[in-house]
């Protein structure tokens, strides 16, 4: 089953379970692809199908040149021969085995079982815990042991099902870094299931947004976040600055919109006859204006006022939540060095520009009502 060079995963499957229909088509090279979506969207079922734990009704799965499942050819390679490592959300460690015994379990009969086990435990920073049982390990330690055990099969593909869901933020951030390093070092595809957007940004190269059994958008994580394909994707990803507005005028030059009492301009939109549209503005495109200073062309449109609700600082960026005069709350994001002269304290009034060219009109799917 082993092929030279990085593995390439190709999935094109269908599977029905009662009224639920799973239809997934995706590819992954030597990268981390995040399966992102709400509970019940089919993320874990997709992992189970790729691993061979669940047999789809139709389709195919390829790992580079090897077909591990094909319904038309009746190929269904057993899980143990697919070369897939799987880390379950519950970790699924054997409670009666030590950490070392858990990691070495799949290496039974291997002539270098002990050496490989210890190398994997050192790589995942649990070498000093070899004699402890799972019940004696913290959540983060159990997670590292589970990853080491998944790597013991020398996988061509690693599957991770919400691996950090039960861990605190500080530990999650450290494990995010370790996972990125591991993926780069081993140079294989990783499918990572989560419904936490912070996790998706921290570990993902690309994202596949899932809803009701289907992949509805794929692409680089930041690109999908900045340019969701439609309102459904935006809502699944919890995107802020998403609103509905009435179309007052639509011309080749652009749209004139009424957003609950605020009149704003947007770029042209191809939709004909739309009386209302869904608008998304990335927080980077919501600019704070300096009081009394002349406006440049880039920020001269869509000038609005509001009152600051909160002001947060991160390692690189700050975010400002503002309640506008139409009672809607928007969020602005900007580098830490920007607007240093302004206090921007909660309760203060502020003037903003909703950058015209940053307003993105999203399609509204018919099944959303």
Lowest model confidence (mean pLDDT) among 61-70, 206-215, 272-281? 272-281
What is d(CA 106, CA 101) in angstroms, rounded to the nearest whole number?
9
pLDDT exceeds cutoff 80 at 170:
no
Q: Which of 279, 274, 285 lies closest to 264 in space, CA to CA?
A: 279
pTM confidence score: 0.79
pLDDT digits (tens, 9 = 90+) for 316-332: 889 999 999 999 999 99
- Cβ atoms of 56 and 105 within 8 Å: the answer is no
Lowest model confidence (mean pLDDT) among 99-113, 247-261, 263-277? 263-277
pLDDT grade, residue 222 (50/70/90)?
Answer: confident
pLDDT digits (tens, 9 = 90+) for 282-314: 899 999 999 888 888 888 999 999 999 999 988
pLDDT digits (tens, 9 = 90+) for 331-352: 999 998 888 888 899 999 999 9
pLDDT exceeds cutoff 60 at 3:
no
pLDDT digits (tens, 9 = 90+) for 204-216: 999 999 999 999 9
Length of the chain as a residue count: 369
Residue ranges of domains in the chain, CATH in brackets = 9-83+155-236 (3.40.50.300), 242-368 (2.40.50.100)
Read off the tokens for 200. 């998706």
- Cβ atoms of 45 and 21 within 8 Å: the answer is no
pLDDT exceeds cutoff 70 at 366:
no
């Amino acid at each position: 089953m082993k092929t030279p060079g990085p593995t390439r995963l190709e999935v094109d499957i269908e599977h029905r379970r009662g009224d639920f229909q799973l239809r997934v088509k995706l590819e992954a090279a030597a990268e981390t692809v995040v399966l992102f979506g709400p509970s019940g969207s089919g993320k874990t079922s997709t992992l189970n199908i790729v691993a061979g734990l669940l047999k789809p009704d139709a389709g195919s799965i390829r790992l580079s040149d090897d077909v591990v499942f094909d319904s038309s050819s009746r190929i269904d390679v057993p899980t143990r021969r697919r070369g897939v490592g799987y880390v379950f959300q519950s970790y699924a460690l054997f409670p009666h085995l030590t950490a070392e015994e858990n990691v070495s379990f799949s290496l039974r009969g291997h002539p270098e079982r002990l050496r490989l086990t210890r190398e994997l435990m050192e790589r995942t920073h649990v070498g000093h815990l070899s004699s402890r049982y799972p019940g004696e390990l913290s959540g983060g330690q159990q997670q590292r042991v589970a990853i080491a055990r998944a790597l013991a099969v020398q996988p061509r593909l690693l599957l991770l099902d919400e691996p950090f869901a039960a861990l605190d933020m500080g530990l999650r951030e450290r494990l995010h870094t370790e996972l990125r390093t591991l993926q780069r070092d081993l140079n294989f595809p990783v499918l990572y299931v989560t419904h936490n957007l912070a996790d998706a940004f921290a570990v993902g190269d690309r994202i596949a947004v899932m809803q009701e059994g289907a992949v509805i958008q794929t692409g680089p994580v930041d690109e999908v976040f900045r340019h969701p394909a439609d309102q459904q994707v935006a809502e699944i990803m919890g995107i802020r600055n998403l609103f509905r507005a009435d179309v007052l005028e639509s011309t080749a030059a652009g749209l004139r919109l009424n957003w609950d009492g605020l009149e704003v301009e947007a770029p042209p939109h191809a939709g004909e006859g739309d009386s209302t549209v869904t608008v998304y503005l990335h927080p980077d495109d919501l600019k704070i204006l300096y009081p009394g200073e002349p406006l440049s062309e880039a920020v001269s449109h869509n000038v609005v006022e509001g009152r600051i609700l909160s002001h947060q600082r991160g390692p690189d960026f700050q975010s400002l939540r503002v309640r506008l005069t139409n009672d809607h709350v928007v969020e602005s994001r900007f580098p830490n060095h920007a607007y240093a002269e302004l206090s921007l304290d909660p309760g203060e009034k502020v003037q903003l520009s909703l950058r015209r060219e940053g307003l993105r009109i999203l399609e509204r799917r018919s099944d959303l009502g």
